[in-house]
Homo-oligomer: A and B are copies of this chain.
Amino acid sequence: MKYIIIGAVAGGASTAARIRRLDETAEIIMIEKGNYVSYANCGLPYYIGDVIKDRDKLFIQDAASFKRRFNIDVRVKTEAIEIDPKNNELTLLDLDSQKTYKESYDKLVLSTGAVPIKPPIPGINSSNVFTIRDVHDTDLVKAVIKNEDVKHATVIGGGFIGIEMMENMSHLGINVRLIERAPQLLTFLDEDMALMAKTEIESHGVVVDVNNGLTEIKDNADSSKTIVLENGEEFQTDLVILSIGVLPNSFLAKAAGLDVGARGGVLVNEFMQTSNSDIYAVGDVIEFHHPICEASYPIYLAGPANKQGRICANNMVNGNTKAFKGSVSTTIVKVFGKTIGATGSNSRMLTNHKIKHITSVTHGSSNAGYYPGASQMVIKIAFNPETGVLLGAQVIGQEGVDKRVDIFSTYVQNKQTIDDLMEFEQAYAPPFSSAKDPVNMAGFVANNIMDNVMHIYSPADAVEIGSSELLIDVRTPLEFEAGSIPNAINIELDELRNHLPELSKDRTIYVYCEVGLRGYLASRILSQHGYDVQNLTGGYKFWKNTYGLGIQELVKA
């Protein structure tokens, strides 16, 4: 059997190596347009930021070592320019000699990745305007930062690469401004959680614009640029990183007549096989059925790409037996002192897909509060209110965020429920968790909501609570005086039972505390005494860090 793999990074390299492990006699050719194979794509921003100091660390294998270890014929600087699916033949272009030649295959794998979006904006092709997709891009940016006097950089796009580039350049002492056309950064988050990311970034001196796109890049007399934004503002910068997004690099597949989805990705079945039975595809170039949203999406993630590579190789060598079950979009990003991660679908995405859900916000401690080093994280989960199936989770905090995202990921992947979150048996000792882990707490609170033991309102609702309803802050007077939601009155939880005679049952009572626990206890006391009561999900702390942000400033002013 003769296999050709186009693309030699995550998915492609995984596929090629696995084919060899399964078939010592196969002929395997791996084609790569660039000069490098199997490198650490996700490490590139950190190499620019000098967090990874040694460039060699980015390279896992090279063409020679692939040949030596796996007996694979790796052809770098070679571009696949046409597939002839009728004759199982490929036209290749040697980029050095600029000569084309043909190569036949029994099975072909497309692992051509994605290409950065470059909108037709005036000045987008100026010098010192870069995208970050491969080693070549990275070397260019690194050289500019090293050799030119880069005092100010502008990052266009607040997704993963944009955020990581922003942080890494900031780490080098460069003043950075981050521009995002959408109303929020990091669209894998809901708007409230994204506000916390924005606050964290701003607290490190980075200027952040949301709801504001790039309209022009003007060359100045010196090497600097002038950036023009949608709102008319102009400012000067030395370096521009475009990280607006990517699209599946499916041009070759389209030209060959392979089926392509609505979002531009090559369509594959669960065996990673395209509409042509001799052609498989893996990684950023495909789109795949999303297990929660019941729609087809590209998956721009290295983890799934690697897994697909293994599955694809198994199926090509042994027949279609191993199925890929899709990605639940488990993602994470370090943003200065915070870690921000998510799995499954957020509320906005669920709403767009008309999937019924409730969201609940809780705070939890990374480890036992009495043990040194504990830090608090905020968790927002979305679940089906009837079945209790967990649909998604978003987590922001410091220590232990990655752990909780991973745990939620297993539950989302396996379509498990709020009951399962409650039963999660964590590895508990004081340095690692609490007797009730934040994952359990998220489950307990959601269970109370499902069982109608507690009714909740959101920070967005809190803004609209007027004088016709009663808003009670059940924290201590000291906490209340340090800051509260406008129009709230203060009745401390431990005094609440004594104040019942004063409270009318004619109107809904909205309670809140710092994070939600005391509000919940207050809601239990009140509702069992016949009051209609709701508790603020996530408490004052979540309100203050999200929808309360502007309002507090208003009050201060």
Residues of A within 8 A of B (CB): 10, 20-25, 40, 42-43, 46, 51-52, 57-58, 65, 68-69, 71, 160, 164, 301-307, 310, 325, 327-328, 330-334, 339, 341, 343, 368-372, 402-403, 405-407, 409-411, 413-414, 416, 420, 422-433, 435-437, 440, 444, 453, 493-494, 497, 520-521, 524-525, 528-529
Contact = CB atoms under 8 A, between A and B. Distances in A.
Nearest to A330: B425
Contacts of A339: 431-432
A306 B46 contact: no
Nearest to A367: B402
Contacts of A164: 429
A329 to B, nearest CB: 8
Contact of A307 (B305, B410, B422): B422
Contact of A332 (B20, B23, B428, B435): B428
A461 B341 CA distance: 43
A403 to B, nearest CB: 4
Contacts of A332: 427-429, 432-433
B406 A414 contact: no
Q: Which 3 pairs, one residue from A and one from B, show the smallest C-beta to C-beta distance? A: A332-B427, A24-B528, A57-B370
Given A371-B46, A414-B420, A429-B333, A435 B402 contact: no
A528 B23 CA distance: 8
B406 A40 contact: no
A403 B403 CA distance: 5
A302 B432 CA distance: 13
Nearest to A413: B425
A551 B555 CA distance: 73
Contact of A410 (B22, B302, B371, B410): B410
Given A46-B371, A310-B444, 10 more contacts: A10-B435, A40-B430, A51-B372, A57-B369, A65-B494, A303-B425, A307-B440, A331-B428, A339-B432, A402-B432
A304 B407 CA distance: 17
A435 B306 contact: yes
B71 A327 contact: no
Given A21-B524, A51-B372, A414-B414, A430 B327 contact: no
A302 B425 CA distance: 10
Given A310-B444, A407-B407, A524-B24, A430 B371 contact: no
Which of A343, A424, A453 has most chain B Cβ within 10 Å? A424
Given A306-B435, A426-B303, A68 B334 contact: no
B409 A426 contact: yes
A549 to B, nearest CB: 26
Which residue of A302, A343, A410, A528 has the most chain B CB atoms within 10 A of its CB atom? A410
A52 B372 contact: yes
Contacts of A435: 10, 42, 302-303, 305-306
Contact of A427 (B43, B330, B420): B330
Contacts of A410: 407, 410-411, 424
Nearest to A329: B425
A428 B42 contact: yes
Contacts of A521: 21, 69
Contacts of A368: 40, 42-43
A258 B76 CA distance: 75
Nearest to A328: B425
A304 B425 contact: yes
Contacts of A46: 371, 430
Contacts of A524: 20-22, 24
Contacts of A24: 524-525, 528-529
A345 B327 CA distance: 30
A430 B43 contact: yes
B433 A371 contact: no
A385 B295 CA distance: 36
Contacts of A22: 453, 524
7 contacts: A42-B429, A52-B372, A57-B370, A303-B440, A332-B432, A334-B431, A406-B427
A464 to B, nearest CB: 28
Q: Which of A42, A71, A343, A529 has the most CB of B within 10 A?
A: A42
A27 to B, nearest CB: 15
Contacts of A51: 371-372
Given A24-B524, A25-B528, A372-B52, A427 B343 contact: yes
A186 to B, nearest CB: 12
Nearest to A523: B21
Contacts of A307: 422-423, 436, 440
A328 B428 CA distance: 13
A81 to B, nearest CB: 29
Contacts of A453: 21-22
A68 B10 CA distance: 59
Given A42-B430, A43-B371, A424 B409 contact: yes
A331 B426 CA distance: 8
